[in-house]
Amino acid sequence: MKRTTFTILISTLVFTLTTGAGSNERREISPHAIALALILEKQGARIAGAEPDADSRWFDTSVREWRVQRPWAPGVTNTTEFFTVTYLIDGKKSASWNVNTRRMTFAREGESLQID
């Protein structure tokens, strides 16, 4: 898939997930999917930079995985819209972000991010 086609696909997904739906409709969409879509749309260069080399993603047979999870269960702090998104190649962490889907903001692992 060409980079332009991929960019259009991801932009359409994020637009649909975040702006096209009313508050009730947005609740029907997985909050985990919203977090992942935000990273895919905004962090393309960082994702490409996480690859072992520039051509590997086109020709290798390495397993690529995306993990999206809350860092801890909601409780004293409301973490219903706070996620950690991790990109793994062959089971090894290549990149990671903290995502706040309420504010549609993110930060790389180790950087601060406000949670509501």
What gap in Å lies between CA 97 and CA 80, rounded to an integer? 16
Residue type, position 94, single letter: S
What gap in Å lies between CA 47 and CA 86, rounded to an integer? 10
Name beta bridge partners: 69. 84
Q: What is the mean pLDDT of the chain?
A: 83
pLDDT per residue as tens digits for the range 56-83: 788 889 999 999 999 887 777 778 899 9
pTM of the model: 0.75
